[in-house]
Chain A
Amino acid sequence: MTGSAQPRRVVALGMPRHATGPLAAPITAPEPFADAAARKLKDTQLRANLGHATRTIRDKRAAVVAEVDDWEALRDRAAAVKDDVIARLPELLARFASAATAAGATVHHAADAQQANDIVLGLVQAEQADRVVKVKSMTTQEIGLNEVLEAAGIAAIETDLAELIVQLAHDKPSHILVPAIHYNRSQIRDLFALRMPGFAADSDDPAQLAGAARRYLREQFLSAQVGVCGANFAVAETGSLVIVESEGNGRMCLTLPRTLIAVVGIEKLVPHMADLGDFLRLLPRSSTGERMNPYTSIFTGVTPGDGPQQLHIVLLDNGRGAVAADPVGKQALRCIRCSACLNVCPVYERVGGHAYGSVYPGPIGAILSPQLTGQQAGHNRSLPYASTLCGACYDVCPVKINIPEILVHLRQTGPKPLAERQLMSALSWVMRDRRRWKAALRAARAGSAPLRLMTRRRGHTLRRAPWPLSAWTAHRDAPLPAQESFRDWWRRTHE
């Protein structure tokens, strides 16, 4: 047999893998959420900016959602369509790839951030371009594409106003829809005056600032050779991509360059063109609080004489397969990145997006980042605790992701500190046996007896305990064990 002469390579084929390595940094928290949050809470300007912005958007969303009489039916249907997509991903991906290829696109597959970045960088270098114009894209943020391009001497120009603000400030995005939500108008004006060549505006009126961005970027758009975008939706039956935007920077990048590269998460699929109807009604209302966003572009492959003549589509896994394998957590793949959950979250509103340490902040980030990377990565295991479990995020989610349920699930399945694990296994040993449990209760009663007198006026509740119990009482009261157990009470009164 000639085949046996070849050494067989043993590869763990198809095991879903998390997003790992240095390129997972954009979605990996570098410090525990509680530490970052405690620091951010002291920034009163940040809290004022966020409070103002999220209040504005919450009111707008509520008004346009109230106009839709079948909103709940829309949510149910959209959730079901996305669940169907997740269940049939291999089939739909293949269908999308063949339809897009037939229409003139080149389809690439990337298992992780590294592969996706390599593909995009190779394509840009093949075009001999020294810069690319970018449509706002969470997926390219997730893989850290800009940093990779810049390391290779290629300027990645963000053209969305908020992304541009963040880029000019050398800052990080803090919101999915409005990455510069943590800046107010006068801060933006000062930044433009400092970093935007040719900036001239005599006030911090948002319309004037938007006008300055228009003048600054126009030349870039008209001369760009390569555009880079993500996609809001990818239609499997036709191979079409859908980009939802407001400013027209998206249309510029999708229309004017010779070559367009789209980096698309595999969960962005919808099966049919007709399915888009619901999503196009849900997304703008949930996202910017508009009935419809100013511009939605739908394009399929290449159209001779109109727009880019080369279209590359990079389909990205980067941990999504691993999320799909979790029966509870996979709902997170329904997400259409509207950011409604951020705007209603009492935690996000106070700490802002940077505290989450990932380009996906807020409630959706708290379930998405640790699932994409695995909870062991960095401090992502602390993110599921960045919530009060109030459920406001679930109420507004246009695809009905039960975020509180996933948060609890991740808390239950995530890694725990050694002391907690030891405590829990000791407790489990005690509680497994009636006699041990009874003895433990008796000991607790005896041990806490001296405290009962001290805490008489406070309902037998301890406000401050010594270390290590102080970790508990720092945030909550500790009730003392009852003087009599239920069993003892029953025996005394019924037997």
Chain B
Amino acid sequence: MTARDEVLARIRYALSAPADPVDPPRDYRRTGEHAPGAPQLLQLLTERLTDYKATVHSATPQTLGSVLATALHGTHRVVVPPGLPEEWMPASAVVDDGDLSYADLDTVDAVLTACVAAAADTGTIVLDAAADQGRRAITLIPDRHVCVVRAAQVVQSVPELLTRADPRRPLTFISGPSATSDIELQRVEGVHGPRNLIVVILND
């Protein structure tokens, strides 16, 4: 008898007494009050991100270049995923083709990516490792993460995010920079993940 059979047999035995079947009411909210990209959502997203110590900029396709230059100010090498839109590409870009070692990534100054969706209620952005976001390591090791969120990607709530994310891809939900509450339960920002999170909301 394998451990698997043993575990399953025990649970079957434990559950052999008749119990009332449970039918959870799955009346989840799958849409928000506001349509994706609504100005109210962009405003709320900005407030919530700022509340959790992220920096937020707003841009149009015309101003994006200069906004990104501000966000990347002071950096020498910026790692970018292979599928980043050409027009976002900074001059100092190092394109990650999957070969950069972790030690290399530890020496770059920042990472610039897109995202797959964002939720205004909680100030959460979601990465799914698509070509414009790259493998998970590049958004983890550098100390500054600049993330461009397109207005149409902004939904209201976390449950809505789940409908937009494909669980077969590795997903990372990011709500502000790395933080800890482990000392006296007081929140301080900046531990192992990027200590600076800069979000650029692109009204395109």
- Contacting pair A298 B167 (CB below 8 A): yes
Interface set of A (CB-CB < 8 Å, partner B): 11, 13-17, 49, 52-54, 56-57, 60, 76-77, 80-81, 83-84, 86-87, 89-90, 93-94, 97, 103, 108-111, 115, 159-162, 165, 178, 180-181, 183-185, 188, 206-207, 209-211, 213-214, 217-218, 221-223, 235, 238, 240, 246-249, 251-252, 255-256, 266, 272-278, 280-281, 288, 290-300, 303, 305-307, 315, 317, 320-322, 324-325, 327
- Contacting pair A213 B7 (CB below 8 A): no
Asked if B1 is an interface residue, CB under 8 A from chain A, the answer is yes
Give B161-178 interface residues, CB cut-off 8 Å to A.
162-163, 165, 167-178
Residues of chain A with a CB closer than 8 A to B141's CB: 222
Residues of chain A with a CB closer than 8 A to B175's CB: 290-295
- What is the bound-complex CA distance between A207 and B9, given in angstroms? 50
Chief secondary structure at chain B's binding surface = loop
| 5 A-B pairs with C-beta separation under 8 A | A49-B184, A80-B25, A249-B191, A295-B172, A327-B17
Q: Given contacts A84-B23, A214-B192, A218-B106, are A94 and B8 in contact (CB under 8 A)?
A: yes
- Contacting pair B13 A321 (CB below 8 A): yes
Besides A86-B15, A115-B3, 12 new A-B residue pairs in contact (Cβ under 8 A), listed by A number? A56-B184, A76-B25, A97-B4, A165-B182, A206-B183, A207-B188, A214-B190, A292-B158, A292-B175, A317-B10, A322-B14, A324-B15
- Contacting pair B183 A209 (CB below 8 A): yes
- What is the bound-complex CA distance between A23 and B127, given in angstroms? 40
Give B103-128 interface residues, CB cut-off 8 Å to A.
103, 106, 119, 121-124
- Contacting pair B159 A235 (CB below 8 A): no
Per-position binary interface string of chain B over residues 73-111, scored 1 when its CB falls under 8 Å from any chain A CB and 0 otherwise: 000000000000000000000000010001100100000
Residues of chain A with a CB closer than 8 A to B191's CB: 161, 210, 213-214, 246-249
Residues of chain B with a CB closer than 8 A to A93's CB: 7-8, 11
- What is the bound-complex CA distance between A184 and B179, given in angstroms? 18
Chief secondary structure at chain A's binding surface = helix
Asked if B135 is an interface residue, CB under 8 A from chain A, the answer is yes
Residues of chain A with a CB closer than 8 A to B168's CB: 103, 238, 300
- What is the bound-complex CA distance between A373 and B48, given in angstroms? 44
- What is the bound-complex CA distance between A404 and B12, given in angstroms? 28
- Contacting pair B178 A56 (CB below 8 A): no
- What is the bound-complex CA distance between A248 and B178, given in angstroms? 6
- Contacting pair A240 B102 (CB below 8 A): no
